[in-house]
Structure 1
């Protein structure tokens, strides 16, 4: 009876603190992280778990997250690169997602762009979501369904943001337009407006920003995006800076391989009535013609 009560208490403790049961190094790492609130000590135990082959998939991912929280981002990146070979095939996509987030935090945008494009290629080759049209995601303890279209738009939004950080606003514009054709939302529309402003295309930017504040773009109820759009409209008249010259190339768009054509076919399948040839690809052709002149 006493042993049974003790087991129930232990089970309740593990559920309450979300700590797995057992006494291996991974369990000790989670206990140190979640119960003792000692992230540095948890990292030591995560290393022991990885080196000892104890739940390596979870140990590596959890350790990278803790390192990120401690601003040890570069160390987390190197850990994933060095030890992902010990992880299962199933864990590789989540490790890529972690790397994308880590690259973003430490400003390694070229590497972030490479991984984002890799994820897009997987989608249009039908390799994402294990060939299904939706997947189950989790946020703040709640589960919800994400469609392939939503995931593609999200990845394109992240790709556009990365180009913006490199001041390649023409490339960012093209990518944000793709995202809006698939799954429009106010936040990405706001960033698209910024890209147009940076190219001194004020009238085009104004029209998009007005659509946001007027509620004509999905997600306009997002207070942050709506407030930002209002601010940009107010500041627009003072942003009469000279247009930026076009970059020598659009890095990462791979205009000469199958990347653009594959994505165009995918978007046309999802939105067949919006355009026979998507305007964004007409923009690409126009840009290439400009470079040729």
Structure 2
């Protein structure tokens, strides 16, 4: 494949001006190195398999390894090479600097989710929580810069924690462990309330056949709902869940067990608390998490 790709690039069919314009339009780096060629095939030629071959060459030759590994994994996911992409990240991530590992974790989470590897997804999400509260993800700061839909934004430690908790709860739901999902969703809501996560919390309660509790959660969503922010999607979701409650549809039970929940609470909350004890900046919510969650478990 390498010889074929080199041959194609050695005989460009477009004038130099057109090629330059394409590079500018697609923000392809200048030059004729392996990484530039990989991006050309990815973005201009739309030949994803050829781009993967050139990303491999870029990694092996040390050409923009930091970007090449991430971009190659994204393209492999597009092509459906999920297992290969996971293996590539795991075996090559040591080549990327420490500050770039978080973006690789996010790609890994997407790959785990797409391939149904829920146990590995859950473990990685727990690791992300530990990093956040050990100060490693935010480098001791209370906010970090991130990208959302192409825009640079500032994300607070509370927002990031709530987001990761929401993803962890969703992963538990995919396992059918609705008790664990409920506890984690409640933690997320205590830190940074969100209508979508509240609806998922209600679904967890429905699956545990706690319909009155679910109805109360949904009523609170409607009372706090801002249509200008979410449009009608939240209202439609609430109506769908209320119809299920009124129809008396039985859930599947809680799933999991007390040992799982005790381990989750004791381990994660202990990790969260550690850095705040040292700096005397422990967030009030951490003081509340354990007793609230244990009350929820006792009520099940």
> Considering the TM-score relative to the shorter chain, is it more than 0.5?
yes
State which of 128, 140, 143 in structure 2 corresponds to 1:134. Answer: 143
1:198 and 2:207 equivalent?
Answer: yes
User: Does residue 124 of the first structure (1) align with residue 102 of the second (2)?
Assistant: no
Structure 1 CA distance for aligned equivalents of residues 237 and 273 of structure 2:
30
Structure 1 stretch displaced more, 173-182 or 95-104: 95-104
2:182 and 2:204 in contact (8 A); partners too: yes
- Mapped to 1, the partners of 2:205 and 2:137 lie a distance apart of 32
- Asked if 2 retains the 8 angstrom alpha-carbon contact of 1:176 and 1:192, the reply is yes
2:93 to 78, 81, 84: 84
Q: 2:291 aligns with which of 269, 278, 281?
A: 281
Q: Following TM superposition, by how much is the alpha carbon of 1:277 offset from its aligned partner in structure 2, in angstroms?
A: 3.2
Q: Distance in 2 between matches of 1:128 and 1:245?
A: 32
Aligned to 1:223: 232
Alignment match, 1:31: 40
1:127 counterpart SS class:
coil
Deviation digits for residues 143-180 of structure 1 (CA, Å, limit 9, x no counterpart): 11111110000000000000000000000000000000
Cα 1:164–1:220, aligned 2, differ >3 Å: closer, same or farther?
Answer: farther
TM-score (norm 1): 0.85
1:106 to 115, 120, 136: 115
Report the counterpart of residue 54 of structure 2 in structure 1: 45
Find 1:213's aligned residue among 216, 222, 228: 222
RMSD after superposition: 3.0
Deviations along 1:186-232, one digit per CA (max 9) or x if unpaired, are 10001000000010110010011122233358997353233111111
Relative to structure 1, is the Cα distance of residues 253 and 19 closer, same or farther in structure 2, using a 3 angstrom cutoff? farther
Residue 272 of structure 2 is aligned to residue 263 of structure 1? yes
Question: Which 5+ residue runs of structure 1 have no aligned equivalent?
Answer: 1-5
CA distance in 1, matches of 2:150, 2:296: 46
Aligned residues: 282
Q: Which of 181, 186, 195 lines up with 1:172 in the alignment?
A: 181
Higher relative contact order (CA 8 A, sep 6+): 2
